[in-house]
Amino acid sequence: MDNYSLIQTTTDSKELAKKIAKELLDKKLAACIQIFPIESLYTWEQEIKEDKEYLLQIKTISKNYKKIEELILSLHNYTTPEIISISINRGFKGYLDWIKMK
């Protein structure tokens, strides 16, 4: 049985978000990537920050995580980018099969 993941990262520009997404798709590391504009509030260097960002939701098979992390780190401009993997426990079989085939 294959394991599936939703990997999330954020960027400070739509251009960088698209660059990361296109690289992941070109390298066949993801089946689908959605990009959402978001507003983030967080603590950084002991201050509360507020920024507009872009959230990437990357649908993939779990075994691609390390390669995806390496690619994001090679392109990203943040010192400590968010890169988290969320396991997909269930899903429509047809959709999961499509993720696997990519």
Quick one: average pLDDT of 41-54? 96
- What is the Cα–Cα distance from 94 to 98, expressed in whole angstroms? 6
CA 48 – CA 67 distance, rounded (Å): 32
* Domain ranges within the chain, ordered by starting residue: 4-101
- The yes-or-no verdict on residue 1 having pLDDT over 70 is no
Is the predicted pLDDT of residue 50 greater than 70, yes or no? yes
Structure tokens at 5: 């993941």
Question: What CATH number should be reported for the domain whose range is 4-101?
Answer: 3.30.70.120
Question: pTM, whole model, 2 decimals?
Answer: 0.93
